[in-house]
Amino acid sequence: MTVADAELIRIDGVAKRYRTASGVVDALGDVSLAVPEGQFCTIIGPSGCGKSTLLGMLAGLVGPDGGRVLIEGQPVTGPDPRRVATVFQDPGLFPWRTALENVEFGLELQGADRGRRRAVATELLGPLGLRGFAEKYPRELSGGMKQRVAIGRALAIDTKILLMDEPFGALDEQTRMLMGEWLLDIWRRTNKTVIFVTHSLHEALALSTRVVVMTARPGRIKSVLELPLGYPRAMESPELVTLRAKLWSEIRDESLRAMSES
Amino acid sequence: MTTSAFRLAILSGVLALWEIAARAGNPLLYVPPSAVLPSLVNLVALRSYPDLLEHVLLTAREIAVAYALAVAGGVGVGCALGGHRVLGRAYAPMLAALYAVPAVVWYPSLMLFFGLDAASKIAFGFLLGFFPITLAVLAGTRQVNPHLVTVARSFGASPLAVFAKVLLPGMLFTLVGGLRTGLALAVIGVIVGEVLGAKAGMGTLINHAYGLFRTADYVALVLVTLVLIVTSDVLASLVERRARRWTT
């Protein structure tokens, strides 16, 4: 039982196929993965390898066709906002709510009273760098700010697990790097378990304690890279340059395969 | 300022033309505004039609009931069609086709079903108001970004919470437009119903005055009805403006 206790997330031989107009697509084939508490686990792989599908299963939004997903030893049957919060690539802010009201959304659903909601959300806006923007509507915010509001909305319900599906994918490179630093800071202070999907080698190497490389469709786990390094990481250090080359060679083959198939 | 000045200018211009044209014609058929004014005073002072207030209240009540039914039915059916893709695809075109039929063709059968009393007027007002509301709700559910629904679900939102916190605010703009059109049409339905055949209500009085060639009284009654309609539309536009500020 001691092993199972340390595992917060267990993915057991899950598979997923989609029926489309042009036939059946095997999105995910037999993926198994265990993630202990407190990790920053990045999933990287070529387009269409089922990364997002895997994350959707953890979020309880997508049901697997085979295998099972366990969180704290219990099978996932649907969204569980007490354990899991999700940030999507599209921030998906509610345009009729202010930044503050967006951050309050999850607590509102859980029936928290107005005073507590306000207090939690207001306190979060500081570290989010949004102190002066509480009353702004999403259309008045920049892309990076919107995504920080979305992250704030996920942090507000204070779950053990934070799922992030290419959260910085739509941002420019500088903003991305700053957001990465900022996310690290949050992660290290809150000790959450983060499952982070990305296309970016840089993000994977700068942020993760572990990188999971997936194959082209149907997505399987190709290799797992442990990164027992401190922060902040000097990306030009010989160690990281070597790791980067290794990671790239793993991903390159799969990306080539994905390109030739699509 | 300039808008109201313009409005005033247009209004007085129309009244002047009306006065001139009416004086040139048969006074039994064409009433000048100068003749309407005393009739209006008589009407409002309850001299020409002592039971005016009852008729106004009856019409207002019929409108209120017809509109409430149209809103309930329209929102319900619209959500059902918008929520189920197959159902929506099957019935939406039929709905649009029915909406295109001049509704007045249904009125005789409504009178047969519901009689000459308020029920047939309410049914006709409902029929006219129901379609634009249903179609607006249907369009509204389709314009809500499905990603927002996914986000809400990921935070554990129940179907009811998704409706109240995502769908409703997301389609408010379209919905309010439909509600306003629906109100205008429900008012038209009720009054037209009364004109076509009823025992009481503003439409009946209008029909009565018109039938007896009491043209000045007829115009005065139309003016009172107009006030009733304009009031309802002003109320609706206030609600619409509030909603407009709230969304986007």
Question: Is position A152 within any domain?
Answer: yes
Chain B residues with beta carbon closer than 8 angstroms to that of A96: 169-170, 172, 246-248
pLDDT value at residue A145: 93
B164 close contact with A: CB closer than 8 A: no
3-class DSSP assignment, residue B76: helix
Half-sphere exposure of A126 (CA within 13 A, CB side): 4
* Residue A236 CB neighbours (<10 A): 8
B143 and B176 both lie in a single domain: yes
- B246 near A CB under 8 A: yes
Contact A106 B155 (CB under 8 A): yes
Q: Are residues A59 and A169 in the same domain?
A: yes
Contact B166 A105 (CB under 8 A): no
**Count of structural domains, chain B:** 2
Q: What is the pLDDT along chain B (248 residues), one digit of tens a residue?
A: 688 899 899 999 998 988 888 888 877 777 888 888 888 888 888 888 888 888 889 999 999 999 999 999 998 898 888 877 788 788 888 888 888 888 888 888 888 888 888 888 899 999 999 999 999 998 888 888 999 999 999 999 998 899 889 988 888 878 888 988 999 999 999 998 888 887 888 888 888 888 888 888 888 888 888 888 888 888 888 877 776 665 54
The total number of structural domains in chain A stands at 2
Nearest residue in B to A159, CA atom: B155
| A88 in a structural domain | no
Contacts of B177 (CB under 8 A, 6+ apart): B136, B240
A61 with A110, same domain: the answer is: no
Q: Are residues B108 and B224 in the same domain?
A: yes
Residues B113 and B223 in one domain: yes
Choose the closest CB to A79 out of B145, B154, B172: B154
A166 plus A154 within the same structural domain: no
Q: Which residue type is seen at B78?
A: G
- Prediction ipTM score: 0.90
Torsions phi, psi for A95 (to 5 deg)? -65, -20
* Contact status of B151 with chain A (Cβ, < 8 Å): yes
**How far, in Å, CA of B55 to CA of B202, rounded?**
6
- Pair A73, A120 in one domain: no
Secondary structure letter of residue A131 according to DSSP: G
- Provide the pLDDT for residue A29: 86
Q: Which residue has the tokens 């793993």?
A: A250
Q: Is A80 on the interface with B (CB under 8 A)?
A: yes
| DSSP assignments along A6-70, one per residue | HEEEEEEEEEEEEEETTEEEEEEEEEEEEEETT-EEEEE-STTSSHHHHHHHHHTSS--SEEEEE
Residue ranges in chain A whose pLDDT is less than 70? 1-6, 262
Same domain? A197 vs A243: yes
On whether residue B41 sits in a domain, the answer given is no
The CATH number linked to B59 is 1.10.3720.10
Residues A38, A137: one domain? no
Whether residue A109 lies within 8 A of chain B, CB to CB, comes out as yes
Say yes or no: A110 contacts chain B, CB-CB below 8 A. Answer: yes
CA angle A30/A34/A35 to nearest 5° reads: 135
pLDDT tens track for A91-108: 999 999 999 999 999 999
In a domain, B113, yes or no: yes
Residue that has been written with the tokens 């083959």 in this structure: A253
Q: Is the domain of B134 the same as that of B211? A: yes
Range of the domain at A102: 93-158
Give the residue from A158, A178, A202 where a domain finishes: A158
Cross-chain residue pair B155–A157, CB shorter than 8 Å: yes
Judge: B150–A61 Cβ closer than 8 Å, yes or no.
Answer: yes
Q: Domain check: are B17 and B69 in the same one?
A: no
Which residue, A114, A131, A158, sits at the end of a domain?
Answer: A158
Q: What is the extent of the structural domain holding B200? A: 46-246
SS3 (DSSP) at B137: helix
Q: Are residues A22 and A111 in the same domain?
A: no
Show which of residues 48-67 on chain A sit within 8 Å of chain B, judged by CB atoms: 59-61
- pLDDT score, position B246: 58
Pairwise CB contact (< 8 Å): A94 & B145: no
* B157 within a domain of the structure (yes/no): yes
Which single residue is written with the structure tokens 């119903």?
B193
| Whether residue A238 sits in one domain with residue A184 | yes
CB contacts of B153 in chain A (<8 Å) are 61, 79
State whether B120 and B7 are in the same domain: no
SS3 at position A75? strand
In a domain, A99, yes or no: yes
Same domain for B125 and B5: no
How far away is chain A from the Cα of B181, in angstroms, using its nearest Cα?
Answer: 24
The angle formed by the CA atoms of residues B131, B135 and B136, to the nearest 5 degrees, is: 115
